Amino acid sequence: MTQPTSHQQTGAPVNDSPAAQPLAVEAVSGQPSGSLRRCLASGETRPKAEMLRFVVAPDGQVVVDIKGRLPGRGLWLTPTPEAFAQARAKRGFERAARAKVRVADTLEQIVVQGLEQAVLEQLGMLRRAGRLVLGFEKAKAALQSGKAKQAWSSRDASASSLAKFLPSQQTRAALGLRHEVLPFDSQVLGAHLGRAQTNFLALSSQADPRRLHELLRFLESLQPLVKPARPMTDRGEQGLEADSSHHSVSPRP
């Protein structure tokens, strides 16, 4: 897709009324320019890190900017299905851009796919940096030794295997351990991390997980738009992961 430029190149103004103008403002009046943004659907202000940024391409297409690097005026939206629906119903993107824009019918799915890809890229970077421990036994050992404070599991990991993998809730609380279920199947995780499949992961205590947590919060907010997975039966996931370590594939770039 052609790189977007300023919204001024996208078309004639649609609504220049005072009521519409505040939605297009990147920084909220009276606040530091980098702290808050106004949602184009609800008009509410939130920290920048809690919102999704969009820009308008030269052809008038609304494009999500997950990495926050695309040029052009930012259009900010709270990452919830309700906010997307409200933005469509009220022509929020046009009002914020003050120009005629095109919003894809599949924009919500495009956003979810982009967020999922960004999470996988972050996990891959951590893996290549030696900050991510994969597999049931190794990840469990990292948690028990205190070398890892963050654990993840695939969304198709069985409840019985997860119970064996994680310390008790009381122990997790005492050690400050955190666990989350990733929105990916074990085979998808494995394909991006150099294994046939991966059900369990642990993050080194030396790694900074803030960007990853931010992306995962967005996906959690958009959960109704994410296709559910069918849980695996407990047929020896630990053994399957051990086998996959001997048949690893090269990580995707």
Each domain of the chain, given as residue ranges in start order, spans: 7-104, 108-244
Q: What is the pLDDT of residue 47?
A: 94
Residues 229, 192, 216, 158: what is their CA dihedral angle, to the nearest 10 degrees?
40
Enumerate the H helices of the chain as residue ranges: 81-89, 92-97, 107-128, 136-145, 159-165, 169-175, 186-193, 210-221, 237-244
Q: What is the pLDDT of residues 173-188, one digit of tens each?
A: 888 899 999 999 999 9
Residue whose C-alpha is closest to residue 215's, from 125, 138, 142: 125
Q: Which CATH code is given to the segment(s) 108-244?
A: 3.30.1330.30
Q: Given the structure tokens 């609380």, which residue do they identify? A: 173
Q: What is the pLDDT of residue 227?
A: 61
Q: What is the pLDDT of residue 18?
A: 31
pLDDT band for position 9 (cuts 50, 70, 90): very low
Q: What is the pTM of this model?
A: 0.76
SS3 108: helix
Q: What is the DSSP letter of 102?
A: B
Q: What is the DSSP letter of 67?
A: T
% pLDDT > 90, the chain: 69
Alpha carbons within 13 A on the beta-carbon side of 178: 9
- Average pLDDT over the chain reads 82
Q: What is the DSSP letter of 10?
A: S
Same CATH fold, 108-244 and 7-104?
no
Q: Are 40 and 28 in contact (CB under 8 A)?
A: no
Lowest-pLDDT choice from 106-115, 128-137, 239-248: 239-248
pLDDT band for position 245 (cuts 50, 70, 90): very low
Q: What is the pLDDT of residue 228?
A: 58
Q: What is the pLDDT of residue 15?
A: 40
Q: What is the pLDDT of residue 53?
A: 97
The CA-to-CA distance between both ends of the chain, in Å, stands at: 21
Which class in CATH covers the domain with range 7-104? alpha beta
Angle between helices 136-145 and 237-244 (to 10 degrees): 100
Lowest-pLDDT choice from 28-37, 47-56, 105-114, 115-124: 28-37
Q: What is the pLDDT of residues 95-105, one digit of tens each?
A: 999 999 999 99
Residues 6+ away with beta carbon under 8 Å from 25? 38
Burial class (CB in 10 A: 0-12, 13-18, 19+), 110: middle
Q: What is the pLDDT of residues 191-239, one digit of tens each?
A: 999 999 999 999 999 999 999 999 999 999 998 876 655 544 444 455 4
Residues 6+ away with beta carbon under 8 Å from 175? 146, 149, 167
The larger pLDDT score, comparing residue 75 to residue 227, is at 75
